[in-house]
Amino acid sequence: MKYVYNKFMIGIWLLLIIGLFVFGMGVVEAAGDPNGSNTYSDSIEGLKISINVVWTLIAAFLVFSMQSGFAFLGGFLRQKNMLNYLAHCFIDSTLGACVFYFFGFAVMFGGAKTYSGLDVGWSGLGWDGFMLLGDAYDVKTVMFWLFQMVFATKTVTIIAGAVAERMKFVPYVIYSCLMCGIIYPLYGHWVWGGGWLSTLPIGNGVVDFAGCAVVHTVGGIMALMGAWAVGPRKGKYNPDGSPNAIPGHNMTYVVVGCFILAFGWFGFNAGSTVAGTDLRISIIATNTFLAAAAGAAIMLFFTWKRQGFVDVSFVCNGALAGLVAITAPCAYVPPWSAIVIGVLAGLIMRGTVSLVEVKLKIDDPLGAVAVHGANGMWGMLAVGLFADGTYGINGLILGNGEQLLAQFIGTIVAFAYALAFGGAVFFGLKGTIGLRSSALEEEEGLDIAYHGTSCYPVEEGLFGAVGEQVIDVQAEKEQLSLLEEAISKDRTREKIYSEKLGRWVYGKAK
Amino acid sequence: MKKIEAIIRPEKFNIVRDALTELGYPGMTVTEVKGHGSQKGISEVWRGRRYRVDLLSKIKLEIVVKEEDVDKIVDTISTEAQTGSIGDGKIFVLNVENVYRIRTKEKDNTAI
């Protein structure tokens, strides 16, 4: 384990050093506008640019706040694994951002030519703007980088919820780097960076306003593969395949997290105009909120009818499902369709939860696959259905089926792409360094095993300084290995159906 | 009548409970407790500095049974809760004078 980790860190540093040498040369002939004096002028034009930059930056800050929303969704998990989930969220938004700076951004937007310094790139791959050097050292390019970076780190965090409570830390770090460095940017380049999907000669090409396919379908389907590869949590499934509930530890966190995510989503969608002078932003923000409200409302009544009470966890997931589904169509559709999209999103989310949990038998603690994967795809198709032509895209409601076909192609490509890359990454890691934490680590909680302390440490008076008592490391290790062995033996115990209890129980110890 | 007090590892609680219910003793009182015996506590890390947690989380399980059942239950608990490493816990057996069921005011053996 230590060995693999060391090798991995050496690899990272080597990459950084090579990167510095290769791309550092660009520093000399900088032609961008690093201090903004050429971009800004005391005129209406200059003020327009200022408003656009300010708007995009504010949106980026809002999107960044969504990371705390994701962190709060850890309330769906048991408290013994909370710190591990928080650590996942945090390395995604920090280490992931660094990787996106060094590598991801250039792959994604090289060749897009929308800003200075993004010139080299082909329809399949971008290759310019590494480390924001050279021409990319420009106020507008860097603004764009910040906005895109928060998107990238959001996508990576989607998977954290699906593999939570049972994954080793090192493979997660490796996955996080790969996702930010290549998997997310490559598909992103095809749709947003001037790649082949955006120039498809059907309709207006594949359009994805704020990332239904780029962010959510790719993230959600990667999450499906991750959760599949790492396997269900202990106790999630009975031997006959029926799932058990594993309740979380704090619903307050979940609701607060949901509010923060919805708040950040205004930046996510409305900020994607990258222009404050584009007054469509008011429609976009309203559509965003309406879809969330409709998704939550439908789940309120649905769970009420089906389960006899209002299931708050599903109401929250319904709101998130609506937000995901409106991400692509938000700019192109009228408010009434936002309601329709949100309502269907809630129902699709509920259906996918059952599909994933009961039929596919994949354990997804936060519902990432249902919320992001399924509704990412629905949102992409919704553009082709509901776009009303006022923002340049004609959908099926105007009798134009071409856009729907283009959206369909984009969705299928995203699905297959994430399935292939997700399978390669997660099953590759599983075969080499292993994905799953040991039985004892999972039983005692990943917080203490991987982070040395519990997320909610013991109350005062129950702990002391180490010095008072010499800890015999060798003896401690021996005891630990005995315990490890006993607990992993429990996992291989046969489960039997108890008629008396009406449920599955562990058989006798061997 | 005897009261059996077992202090066991939290990891083993579900297994022990299942085994006892299978035996036909579904009733029990369970408390989360903290304590230590010969197990010396574990060390955790807080902001880079190690600290010692002396009192470890255990589960205390209390169950009152007829005298003839004591051996069977003690045997089940000790088999199921055993891992072989220090900190598996202890079982205490105590005498109980009287038992009353509040709902019906039944007494002793019928009230267990």
User: pLDDT by residue (tens digit) across A119-167?
Assistant: 999 999 999 999 999 899 999 999 999 999 999 999 999 999 999 999 9
B15 lies within 8 A of chain A by CB: yes
Tokens for A423, please give them.
């399978």
Residue A266: both structure tokens together: 């205004």
- Which of B12, B44, B80 is facing A453, going by the closest CB pair? B44
Q: Do A509 and B21 touch (CB under 8 A)?
A: no
Q: Bigger pLDDT: A38 or A17?
A: A38
Q: What is the pLDDT of residue A28?
A: 46
Q: What is the pLDDT of residue B56?
A: 83
Point out the residue among A451, A483, A506 whose CB comes nearest to the CB of B85.
A483
Please report which helix (H) or strand (E) contains residue A69, including its range. helix A44-72
Compare CB distances from A500 to B21, B43, B44 and report the shortest one's residue: B21
Q: What is the pLDDT of residues A329-343, one digit of tens each?
A: 999 999 999 999 999
Quote the pLDDT of residue A88: 96
Reported ipTM: the value is 0.83
- In chain B, count of helices (H) and strands (E)? 2, 6
**pLDDT of A178 over the 90 cut:** yes
Interacting residues of A301 by C-beta distance below 8 A, sequence separation 6+: none
Facing A505 at nearest CB: one of B22, B44, B52: B22
The H-or-E segment that residue A491 falls in is helix A473-492
Regions of chain B with pLDDT less than 70: 39-41
**Minimum Cα–Cα distance from B84: chain A residue:** A482
Contact A152, A180 (CB under 8 A): yes
- Distance, in Å, from the CA atom of A345 to the CA atom of A378, rounded to the nearest integer, reads 7
Interface test with A, best of B8, B38, B54, B58 (most A CBs within 10 A): B54
Site from A444, A483, A500 to mutate, B interface, most B CB atoms within 10 angstroms: A483
Is the model's pLDDT at A456 over the cut of 90? Answer: no
Contacts of B46 in chain A (CB under 8 A): 452-453, 457
Q: Which amino acid is at A410?
A: G
Average pLDDT over chain A, rounded to whole? 90
CA dihedral A158, A164, A166, A169 (to 10 degrees): 70
Instruction: Tell if the CB–CB gap between B46 and A479 is shorter than 8 Å.
Output: no
> Is residue A82's pLDDT more than 80?
yes
Q: Determine contact, residues A331/A341, Cβ cutoff 8 Å.
A: no
pLDDT on residue A16? 66
Neighbour count for residue B24 (Cβ, 10 Å): 9
First to last CA, chain B: 9
Chain A and chain B share a number of CB contacts under 8 A equal to: 86
Task: Give this prediction's pTM.
Answer: 0.90
Residue A401 is encoded by which pair of tokens? 């089926």
A471, pLDDT greater than 80: no
Chain centre distance of CA A474: 42
Higher pLDDT, A507 or A174: A174
Q: What CA–CA distance (Å, rounded) separates A257 from A475?
A: 43
Residue % of chain A over a pLDDT of 70: 91
CA distance A120 to A49: 25
A354-401 pLDDT per residue, tens: 999 999 999 999 999 999 999 999 999 999 999 999 999 999 999 989
Interface of A with B (CB under 8 A): 235, 440, 443-444, 448, 451-454, 457-458, 462-466, 468-469, 471, 476, 479-480, 482-483, 485-487, 490, 498, 500-501, 505-506, 508-509
- Distance from C-alpha of B44 to C-alpha of A448, rounded to nearest angstrom: 7
Contacting residues of B for A457, CB less than 8 Å apart: 44, 46
Q: Is A117 left (phi over 0), alpha (psi -120 to 50) or beta?
A: left
Contact at CB, B15 and A463, closer than 8 angstroms: no
Question: pLDDT-based confidence at A477, cuts 50/70/90?
Answer: confident
A69-86 mean pLDDT: 95
pLDDT at A179: 96
User: Does B35 touch chain A if contact means CB atoms closer than 8 Å?
Assistant: no
A450 contact residues in B (CB cutoff 8 A): none
| Best CA proximity match to A208, nearest among A436, A70, A380, A372 | A380
φ, ψ dihedrals at A129, nearest 5°: 95, 20
> Per the structure block, which two tokens stand in for A499?
């008629």
Q: Cβ B19–A452 below 8 Å, yes or no?
A: no
Closest chain A residue to the Cα of B79, Cα to Cα? A509
* Confidence band of A96 (pLDDT split at 50, 70, 90): very high
CA distance A308 to A388: 39
Judge contact between A298 and A342, C-beta under 8 A. Answer: yes
User: Cβ contact (<8 Å) for B53 and A463?
Assistant: yes
Residue B85 in contact with partner chain A when CB distance is under 8 A: yes
- Report pLDDT digits (tens) over A410-449: 999 999 999 999 999 999 999 999 999 998 899 889 998 9
Q: Is B102 on the interface with A (CB under 8 A)?
A: no
What's the pLDDT score for residue A26? 47
Say which DSSP state A436 is in. Answer: B
pLDDT value, residue B70: 93
Task: State mean pLDDT over A59-76.
Answer: 96
Q: What mean pLDDT is predicted for residues A20-28?
A: 52
Residues of A in contact with B85 (CB under 8 A): 479-480, 482-483, 486
